[in-house]
Chains A and B, each alone.
Chain A
C-alpha cells in the first residue's frame, strides 16, 4: 500500500510526478487513489519531506539468497553460430562478475557448439556449459525451458542474463515462472548496488516516456533480458583460457527429470518429452527480410524531407536505411507532395517515434515534425540551410548536401558491418 504520512506539507510535487494520475490534493495534503496507483514509486523519490512510503512485507516465497552465486549468460545460437547479442552480454556479464568477484558462466544449447564454446571463453567467460542435442538445434519453448530451468535449479546462479530476441523473450518469462523468480525485460543498463549486493536493472517504461530501475531483492536468480545492440561487445581474446563442459541432454527419452551423477557437474538430462505431447512441431523456418513498416518500434529511423528533392531522391535514404536495418521516415511536406506513403510520416499528424538513432535528412524541423521525434535518443541532422531549426534539437549536425553525405554514410556503415 502507498502511505502518505502526516508530515506531508502539501507541496503537490508528487501529484505532478505521478504517471498514473493517482494522487490529488485534498485539504492541503496529498491523497492517493489506490484504484489508480500502481505502486510505481515515482512519488516516493520526489517527496521533499519523505512523507510517502510504500508499505511492503517480506515476500512469503522468498528464497535464501546466500545460496546463489555467479553470473550466467544464456547464449543463443542460430545454426550453431552465436548471436551478437550473446557476445555483448558476455562482455557486460564479465563486468558484473568482476564487481561481485564471482565466476562468469555462459550456457549454450545447440547441436554442434565447439566453436561457440571457444568464442564464449575468448569473449570473457570463465566457464561454458554446452548442451548438445539435435533436438536443441532449433529453439523450442518446452525443451529449452526444461534444460535451462533444471540447470538453474541445480547450480543456483545469482544473475542470469539473456538476449531480448524473440526467442529470449519466449524463454525468459517461461523459465522465470517455472523457477519462481523475477525477470526484467529489455534492460538498457545493468549495475551492481555494492552495498546491498543486488542487481539494478534499468529499463524504459510507459512507452519510453519513463525509465524505471527494477530490483529483485528476495528471489534468485535475478534475471534480465537485454536488447541487441545495447551493451558494448569488447574485443575477444583468443589467448584466454576457460573451462568448457559438455552436459548431456537426452531429450528424446521418456525418462523423468534430470539426474545429477557427479557432484557439482550435471552429466545427464532426461527431460520428460515423449513425442506424443511433445512439443511444438516446426513445419518450416523461412528467412526473409522484413517488409512491413513499424516506425514506433524501430531502433533506427532514416527520414527524408523536402531536401531530398523528388520521389526518386528517396533512394539514397532507403539505401542508408537498408544498410542500418532501419525504417524510412518522412516529413509531412513530402507525404503531402505524394513522394512517399503516409505510413512513413513522422510528426504531430503522423507517428510519434523514439528510436535509438534518428537521422533527419533534408528536414527543416517544423514544430509538427519535431513533436513526433524529439524524444529520439540520438538525432543526426543533415541540411543545406544552417539556420534550419532541426539543428536546434540535434546531437550532431551536418551542414551540407544530403545527396553527397548520405551515400558516404551508407558506404561507411556497410564497410563497418562487412
Chain B
C-alpha cells in the first residue's frame, strides 16, 4: 500500500503576539512547525503502514527551509520525503498550490490513500485537500476523526457541526483529518538519527515533474491579496449602569445590534 501525506511548514501562530502600540506582529521567537493537523495525517499514515505494510511518502511545497518539517516527518516513520521548491511556485494561492501538488502526486503515481490535515493554522482555508482530490478525480472525506481500512474500502467518521456521519468509500481516496483522530507519536531517537544521516529528502523543482508553467505561482493564482492589516481591538470600556434588569437588557441590545450574538 502506498500512502501519501501532504504537509505544510507553518509559523506557530499561537506564539505570535501583537505589538499593540505599533500595530505590528512580533515575530521574534516564533518557531516554524509542521502544521498540527498534518502531523495527525502523518500519524494516521504511519500507523496504517505498520498494520498493513507498504510505504509512506510525505510531500510538501515551500521554500528550502521546509526540509526541516520533512525531516521530522521521516523521523516519525515516513519512508520518503519530497519537497516541491521552485521560485516559480512562489505566491501560489490554494488553487495553484493544489495544482502543483496534484501534478507531483501524479508523478509519484499508484497511491492508495492521501492524507492531509484539515487546514493549516496560518491560513485556515481547508481548501487545498479537496482541490487536490478534485484535480486527481478522487473521492474525498473531510473532517475525519476516525478511519478504518476494510479490504479495498475505507470506513471513516466525519465530524459534523452537531454529531457525525459514518461514511464508506473505495480506495483510492483523499482524507483530511482532524486533531482528534489520533495522538501523533514523538520521533524516535533512531528515527531522528536516520532522518539526518540519510538523504531521503528529494527536492523537486518545476523541471522534475510535469507541470504547465501557465498554472504556477502568483501569476496563475485566481485570488490575490489586495491588502493586509492588523485588526484593531479598540476597547470601549463602557461600564453599564442601572438595575441588573436594565443592564442585561441593554447589553443584549448592544450585542444584537453589533451582530455579536
Contact = CB atoms under 8 A, between A and B. Distances in A.
16 contacts: A54-B218, A57-B219, A166-B159, A172-B130, A185-B124, A185-B125, A185-B126, A207-B124, A215-B224, A283-B167, A287-B163, A290-B162, A393-B235, A393-B237, A413-B261, A416-B252
Contacts of B13: 206-209
Interface residues of A, number: 111
B236 A395 contact: yes
A185 to B, nearest CB: 4
B49 interface: no
A60 B90 CA distance: 16
B165 A285 contact: yes
Contact of A170 (B94, B130, B170, B180): B130
Contacts of A230: 259
A313 B221 CA distance: 53
A279 interface: yes
B149 interface: no
Interface stretch (A3-11, A113-121, A400-408): A400-408
B164 A288 contact: yes
A400 B22 CA distance: 35
Given A206-B13, A282-B167, A408 B227 contact: no
B184 to A, nearest CB: 17
Contacts, number: 286
B249 interface: yes
Chain B interface SS verdict (over half): mixed
Contacts of B18: 209, 375
Q: Which 9 residue pairs spanning A and B have beta carbons closest together?
A: A207-B13, A182-B222, A182-B223, A60-B214, A39-B91, A177-B134, A35-B63, A173-B127, A219-B222
B108 interface: no
Interface in B206-244: 214-215, 218-231, 233, 235-240, 244
A166 B120 CA distance: 15
B182 interface: no
B225 A357 contact: no
B133 interface: yes
B25 A209 contact: yes
A102 interface: no
A214 B226 contact: yes
B222 A181 contact: yes
B255 to A, nearest CB: 7
Interface of A: 1, 16-17, 19-21, 34-42, 45, 54, 56-61, 138, 141-142, 145, 165-167, 169-170, 172-174, 176-178, 180-186, 200, 204-219, 229-232, 277, 279-290, 292, 296, 300, 324, 352, 356-357, 374-380, 386, 391-400, 404-405, 408-409, 412-413, 416
Contacts of A287: 162-163
Interface in B134-149: 134-135, 139-143
A214 B224 contact: yes
Contacts of A211: 228-231
A286 B164 contact: yes
